[in-house]
Structure 1
């Protein structure tokens, strides 16, 4: 485990932007002005063309320690050399101000000496257009302006501008501050503003954590995952992206490099569950609004993913960049999966709308428009129920009758049935009943009676971790012989000795998968808890929680060979999986709530 590959950087954000900061203090990934904009710092994908923003000592053999201030998204990096020790505190300002959240496109760096006489060099070299443009520098009285980007970028500081421009080392004998702004500049007092913003941001995150409902089961892991999930919500529209990065490979040289800076409809149910489990209503409402804005826009087929502003066109391009570790091309921006047919999206959205009717915190006015949407989504299930699709894993050159798709047809119809009964809408009840029955018939066609398992799709022997949800979502009764048999067969085929889980093992468009998909292992934990194997669920959860980096951040993929982290990072999907698995275990057994569709 000591030699495993980990992503040695942390994440800060304020629901307007996200930044990845390496243990050497360099900001290796930062996109302005949006999550899905070009990077202004992107050495994560090309050390030569990606720019740099670092605070480094003269010595190469320094020691680095990185940690979050407790219960916040404020990141500290301490650098120790023979000359001395210093700390860089990085944060994205976020706090309540003038009856709204203040979340500027502003990154603040506080540099303070801790011991000895450390010398440092501040290097700030932003780029534009994914490394193809270098801004022109313009020096002001206490700032450097970087010209030629979409908006003005400014570094405002009390560090000598000459030292920054000349990239000279200087003695750090007092605390210094750096404000990197995009658009609106910072023109107030440097020290007072930085300290006020830092204190306010710390208090905001701690208050947010205190407002969560989290059990004492691995509470620290759940808190960090909740903080990560919160940062990935683009608050202006409510969208929640899968990850802030692009093209971090699923395994070295695999070419499985994707841009995940978008909102996937397939994540709806899991993300909804995660926010519900921690009792956070504000994020739920924002997410609902984003989803309903897309779904009500027209009556065309819904896509698997959308941009954070709801746009449908996400053209995939390959950039002339070296890739992660300078040797993992291709680097992709955009995602061709938006063209895929993934019919589970209709059920996913129907499930997400159920709390509007099952949770009394929503008032009638908030339910009014959704009735039209619910019936439209039911009709989409009716229109597409007999056709194959690309499935959850977005196979690019294969369409099948996926069990997972029919499970969400079934669950979405079950949600609509309950809503229809609430509304006393006989037409909705009848259609939902009919579709739920037909979906179940399709699911049963994927059952392999000889092996006692549901396969990935009708007519294929391949198994798929997504069918674990037949148990966790209540299609199969948790105490039934069929649920236990199904789980056993998936274990034998897809589980590693460490409790990791492959999505599937058969060849796809890019060969056989080399790494496991972390959320699948958390789905497995939930399934274990459902069938009453609670001790195994707990021990597996404990093993899985160790596959984080030094800050508790989870990747998309994990190597079964050595536990290395791969894929985009951090992956909200993985953190959502941890949160939901912890909640399932903390309830001891599977107890139905308004998000469960267990047969009663």
Structure 2
């Protein structure tokens, strides 16, 4: 079986995300928000998904690359007539004391060699492909009506060539600017060039101001750039992935919508960005979480995930008229996991925001109602501490006292105690420590002394990669024999011969998993570094680098037999795993951190 990798690159500006395929097509773009309908969605249906391509006649070859240290993507196309380059970007830069991040996709086309002839096809859709848009031509633009707002294509290419889908000779640089809502009311070419320079300057400065160690720095830089654009800056929410319904493996039926904010995933994203010295994302997220915390009163139970504006009901629907990625059905929008009970999330919210109270670069008094906020989280932990839940992997019909859930209740209480010290609230500190001890008792009920391993839940024999976190969170002393034995037992059962790692190998609601989960392999690397097996950690980390696509983008799942990429893409979890594992190894190696 042939190796399958995703042939798209991701661009974005913290207001929208777009996938550009190697075939030049905009294969995925949702407007006006991350979780809105796609206006281009050929990733899930080549017929109903619309098209925005820039192609020559006949056969061609292509390659993609990012302009160094940026989220600006280039696609170079070559055929027998010549070659040309498409530069795709979403404008983002600082002006007028705020970030400019319009719903605007800019495509610059320029000849490289020979006399290329190209055709531009632009056919956006709406309502997840149900609705084709009505085209109205202007002198230098085309309006597409039918969505909530008009989509406008402003161009220096003769409009007739685009409307008639006619081939033409590319003799000089041409520009395509697609906007949602507000049209461009300025000179096209000079504006596009100015936006390109400013966007490149923004991204390259952002990386220059990152504290990134020398270990596999190129991969860490790309991962950081990927994670940054997964934050919806308008509200501070951070999504798990930009896509929906990319299957965990071919014909698996495990096709999920990940365009939402999981409180758990966000903890990992913020941790990885904190490691490289970026904190504004955490402050923006604090506002998002605070809004959720106090929107429903003190008795409100956190959901595992929310919409990017804090929306609670993310009703799951199947769009049976869409063919799906490589004919994988169903295509789902919404995610039923919003109804789940997942009790680790309270602790993860506390840990993710702990630096705001313990790092002296932040002034904690800037945040109002700290006592009330910490107390509300402890209330939630106390109420759910003894409760069965769906666990990190969101089992739909299985509930247990999960080791992972109790671990993060334990760690959350530890964080709350530290926060209480900062805000000088001894009552909250004592309460947090008492709850921490109760959580530890539950964790210990998962220990199997015969196999010297913590199982995934109390009184259950199954092993689970999520319990690697017992080592990384310092619940188990990494230098202890208990930690080393636990790691050995997990790698013996869940690690593949080629260094990948399964979440678990027991049957869930959909049977046994058939692909490995990439973040688990990175957790394994972290755990190896923690217990002092540094040579093993480096070897396993280097082995994982081959599972990216040509642009250093990683998927959610990997097939152990073929190395194929599956699952939603690029997956924030996987890039987080890479960054945290690289950071852990760099600290052990005492590699210099470049500022």
Q: TM-score range by the shorter chain?
A: over 0.9
In the alignment, structure 1 residue 536 sits paired with structure 2 residue 536: yes
**Alignment match, 2:146:** 148
Equivalent in the alignment of 1:426: 426
Deviations along 1:153-187, whole A, 9 cap, x unmatched?
00000111111111111111111100000000012
CA distance in 2, matches of 1:19, 1:42: 10
Inter-partner Cα distance in structure 1 for 2:531 and 2:76: 46
Q: What secondary structure sits across from 1:587 in the alignment?
A: helix
Aligned to 1:594: none
**Which residue of structure 2 aligns with residue 486 of structure 1?**
486
Moved over 6 A (4+): none
Alignment of 1:286-325 (within 5 A): 286-297=284-295, 298-299=297-298, 300-325=300-325
SS of 1:588's equivalent? helix
Alignment-derived partner of residue 88 in structure 1: 86
Aligned to 2:168: 170
Aligned residue for 1:372, secondary structure, equals: helix
- Structure 1 distance, partners of 2:364, 2:437, is 30
| 2:377 counterpart residue number | 377
Supply the distance in 2 between the matched residues of 1:553 and 1:530 (Cα, whole angstroms): 26
Is 1:558 matched with 2:551?
no
Q: Does 1:161 align with 2:159?
A: yes
Cα deviation digits, residues 412-466 of structure 1 (max 9, x gap): 1111112223333222122111111111111000001110000000011110000
1:414 pairs with 2:414? yes
Alignment of 1:82-231 (within 5 A): 82-231=80-229
Q: Is the Cα–Cα contact under 8 Å of residues 246 and 325 in structure 2 kept in the other structure?
A: no
What does residue 280 of structure 2 align with?
Answer: 282
Distance 1:433 1:522 in 2: 31
Residues 1:476 and 2:483 aligned together: no
Instruction: Please give the alpha-carbon distance, in whole angstroms, between the structure 2 residues aligned to 1:368 and 1:68.
Output: 41
2:453 aligns with: 453
Aligned partner of residue 277 in structure 2, secondary structure: coil
For the residue of structure 1 that corresponds to 2:588, the secondary structure is: coil
Deviation at 1:380, TM superposition (A): 1.2
Partner of 1:48: 47
Deviation of residue 590 (structure 1)?
A: 11
Q: Distance in 1 between matches of 2:464 and 2:178?
A: 46
Partner of 2:28: 29
Q: Report the 3-state secondary structure (helix = DSSP H, G, I; strand = E; otherwise coil) of the residue aligned with 1:342.
A: coil
Q: Per-residue deviation at 1:267?
A: 1.4
Q: Which residue of 1 aligns with 2:388?
A: 388
* Alpha-carbon shift at residue 231 of structure 1 (Å): 0.7
List gaps (5 residues or longer) in structure 2. Answer: none
Q: Secondary structure of 1:545's match?
A: helix
CA distance in structure 2 between the aligned counterparts of 1:409 and 1:149, rounded to whole angstroms: 44
Cα shift at 1:313 = 1.0
Q: CA deviation at 1:46?
A: 0.5
Residues 256 and 335 in structure 2, CA contact (< 8 A), matched pair in contact too: yes
Give the SS at the match of 1:519. helix
- Count the aligned residue pairs: 589
Give the Cα separation in 2 of the matches to 1:517 and 1:523: 10
Please give the per-residue CA displacement for 1:298-320, whole angstroms capped at 9, x wherever unaligned: 22110000000011111110013
Q: After superposition, what is the alpha-carbon deviation per residue over 1:59-115, rounded to whole angstroms, capped at 9, x for unaligned?
A: 1x2110100000010000000000110111100011111111111100000011111
Residues of 2 paired with 1:241 and 1:565: CA distance? 20
Partner residue in 1 for 2:327: 327
For 1:20 and 1:74, locate their aligned partners in 2 and report how far apart those are by CA, in whole Å: 12
Q: Secondary structure at the match of 2:554?
A: coil
How far apart are the structure 2 equivalents of 1:321 and 1:533? Answer: 51
Shift of 1:148: 1.4
For 1:521 and 1:366, locate their aligned partners in 2 and report how far apart those are by CA, in whole Å: 39
Match of 1:498, SS?
coil
Q: Distance in 2 between matches of 1:87 and 1:268?
A: 36
Counterparts of 1:571 and 1:237, CA distance in 2: 21
User: Equivalent residue for 1:73?
Assistant: 71
Deviation at 1:366, TM superposition (A): 2.4
Describe how 1:506-585 pairs up with structure 2 within 5 A.
506-585=506-585
Please state how far the C-alpha of 1:368 moved relative to its aligned partner: 3.5
CA distance in 1, matches of 2:232, 2:517: 25
1:295 deviates by: 1.7
User: Could you list the per-position Cα deviations for residues 39-68 of structure 1 after superposition, in whole angstroms to 9, with x for gaps in the alignment?
Assistant: 000000001100000001111x21101000
Deviation at 1:348, TM superposition (A): 0.8
The answer to whether the Cα contact below 8 Å between 1:322 and 1:328 also exists between their aligned partners in 2 is: no
Q: CA–CA distance in 2 between the matches of 1:584 and 1:153?
A: 45
Whole-angstrom CA distance in 1 between matches of 2:413 and 2:574: 27
Secondary structure of the structure 1 residue equivalent to 2:498: coil
**Structure 1 range deviating more: 221-230 or 181-190:** 181-190
SS of equivalent to 2:212: coil
Check conservation: 2:270, 2:281, Cα contact below 8 A: no
Q: What is the rounded CA distance, in whole Å, between the counterparts of 2:157 and 2:429 in structure 1?
A: 67
RMSD: 1.3
Matched, 1:234 2:250: no
Aligned residue in 2 for 1:595 = none
Displacement, 1:373? 1.1
Contact 1:257–1:331 (Cα < 8 Å) also in 2 = yes
What is the deviation of 1:326?
4.2
**Alignment-derived partner of residue 6 in structure 1:** 5
- Where do 5+ consecutive residues of structure 1 fail to align? 592-600
Query: Secondary structure, in 3 states, of the residue corresponding to 1:541?
Result: helix
CA distance in 2 between partners of 1:380 and 1:536 (Å): 40
2:371–2:425: 8 Å Cα contact kept in structure 1?
no
Q: Indicate the residue corresponding to 1:596 in structure 2.
A: none
Given that 1:357 and 1:367 are in contact with CA atoms closer than 8 Å, whether structure 2 keeps it comes out as: no
> TM-score by structure 1 length?
0.97
Render the CA deviation track for 1:542-584: whole Å, top value 9, x for unaligned.
1112210000001000111111000000001110111111111
Matched residues in 1 for 2:423 and 2:146: separation?
Answer: 56
1:245 aligns with one of 239, 243, 252: 243
Give the C-alpha shift of residue 589 in structure 1: 7.2
Post-superposition offset of 1:361: 1.6
For the 8 Å contact 1:64–1:79, the answer to whether it is kept is yes
CA contact (8 A) 2:247 2:255 kept: yes
**TM-score calculated relative to the size of structure 2:** 0.97
